[in-house]
Amino acid sequence: MSIKKQSFGKTKEGAEATLFTLKNKNGMSVSFTDFGANIVTVIVPDKNGSFDDVVLGYDDVTGYESNSPGFGSFIGRHANRIGGASFELNGRKYELEKNDGQNNLHSGFKGYNKFIYEAEIFEDEDSDSVEFSRLSPHMEQGFPGNLDISVTYTLTDDNELVVEYLAVSDKDTIVNLTNHSYFNLAGHKSGSILEQMVMLDADKFTPTDDALIPTGEIVDVTGTPMDFRKLKQLGQEIRANYGPLEQAGGYDHNYVLNTNGSEVEKIGELADEKSGRLMEIFTNMPGIQLYTGNFLNGVTGKDGFTYQKHAGVCFETQYFPDSCNKPEFPSCVLKAGSEYNFVTVFKFSAK
């Protein structure tokens, strides 16, 4: 294993950003920046041993300062949408930024992917890690509580990218952390992901209104285009005459995972037949947002390549969207002094 540090450019405020690159014995490498704790590259071999970068992103920190699609982003304090950009906790109403119509998306205009983090490196015999941490102060983005947060990225010799989220607050608050990487197993410059195959171990999903806020219903996927319980091409039914798909312009939906929440379990796969690459997904979160890059529209990224609609697919492990306003959903409330601790693993192979 090896870890390399290099400059990733300067922010508009003149802060120096650093890129950390981890490489394992198989030649797989991943890189992250302390600006936003964002994932920048994931470079893995195909069935012929050729390496390619399988996540969308930018060449330097300047791209990540704007980054409206959220490439590689560490998302918090609350990922996904909050209806009406407000919630009640312990009898008090908290107002948030309305950055998605009348709603709050990914916590507002400045999410956790736009801050500089302290970085610490850990080296083990068969894995290396980078931990990014900071204190999110009381009422930052409108959320109560001083929140000590860290996200640790670990690369193992089994070609696993392990993402561990830790947080503790001094007041009751809501927390829902995720990563917003856009994957394309054919390579980030290969175009559409609609021929790639997805499996999700989820019998149900949460339908939304036209603003993509969950209605509170939990609906069985059986007999609908939302069913990914067996490997299926993303594009097979994406244009079906089906309300939820028409609302979102593709897949942008939370799936209710068939997990018990106590152990990190395999819940999904992404497969690309042409390259032979396979990505297995493991988590102990209750939900996952499947998002097919419906709002990408000519975004210039790494190597000057322009990303169009459906150029990548996101697997955002999470509490359900708007769960802070839906008591029937698993609760994202974090009690003062309690520990938020969730893990997501992306494991890569090729055959």
pLDDT at 261: 80
- Amino acid in position 160: E
Closest Cα partner for 226 from 250, 249, 197, 210? 250
203 phi and psi, to 5 degrees? -85, -15
pLDDT tens-digit profile, the chain (351 residues): 789 999 999 999 999 999 999 999 999 999 999 999 999 999 999 999 999 999 999 999 999 999 999 999 999 999 999 999 999 999 999 999 999 999 999 999 999 999 999 999 999 999 999 999 999 999 999 999 999 999 999 999 999 999 999 999 999 999 999 999 999 999 999 999 999 999 999 999 999 999 999 999 999 999 999 999 999 999 999 999 999 999 999 999 999 999 988 899 999 999 999 999 999 999 999 999 999 999 999 999 999 999 999 999 999 999 999 999 999 999 999 999 999 999 999 999 999
Longest dimension (CA), the chain: 59
User: CA of 48: how far to CAs of 27, 239, 349, in Å?
Assistant: 14, 33, 12
Supply the pLDDT for residue 262.
84
* pLDDT for 204: 98
Kind plus residue range of the DSSP H or E element containing 334: strand 333-334
Give the pLDDT confidence score for residue 260 in this predicted structure. Answer: 83
3-state SS class at 119: strand
- Which active-site residues does the annotation give? 180, 316
Q: Closest Cα to residue 183, out of 242, 126, 268, 100?
A: 268
Residue 345: beta bridge partners?
162, 282
Predicted local distance difference test score (pLDDT) of residue 1: 79
Cα separation, 338 vs 4, in Å, equals 35
Torsion angle, alpha carbons of 330, 252, 293, 227, to 10? 100
What's the CA gap between 111 and 291, in Å, rounded? 19
CA distances from 100 to 78, 104, 120, 211 (A): 14, 6, 34, 9
